[in-house]
Amino acid sequence: MPPRSLRIAATVELVSLAVLLVNLATAHWAPLSSLIGPVHGCAYLFVLVLAFRSSPSPRVRLIAWIPGIGGALATWSRVWTVRSRWRA
């Protein structure tokens, strides 16, 4: 199971990306972009740091570098890696 902080950061990263894309596609309200943009950037950095600290797997570390969905994929990949090691 990935650390709770990694799951939270991955969720914030994905939700903030969705908000940015919806804002871009509809109203393109500048104050919203100014607020959510830095939140998304910080969540991305948190995901990178937490993925590197929580997993020795190079696969999880590389997946975390994917912007936007990397946190969610790294969380899923970490769970899959742990389960496959446990079964072996």
Render pLDDT for 55-86 as a digit per residue (tens, 0 to 9): 888 888 899 999 888 898 988 887 666 555 55
Q: What is the pTM of this model?
A: 0.82
Give kind and range of the element (H or E) at residue 1. none
> How many domains, the chain?
1
Say how far apart CA 56 and CA 16 lie, in whole Å.
27
43 CB neighbour count, 10 Å cutoff: 21
The confidence score (pLDDT) of residue 88 equals: 55
- How confident is the model over 11-49, as pLDDT tens digits? 999 999 999 999 999 999 999 999 999 999 999 999 999
Sole residue written with tokens 């969610």: 72
Contacts of 1 (CB under 8 A, 6+ apart): 79, 82
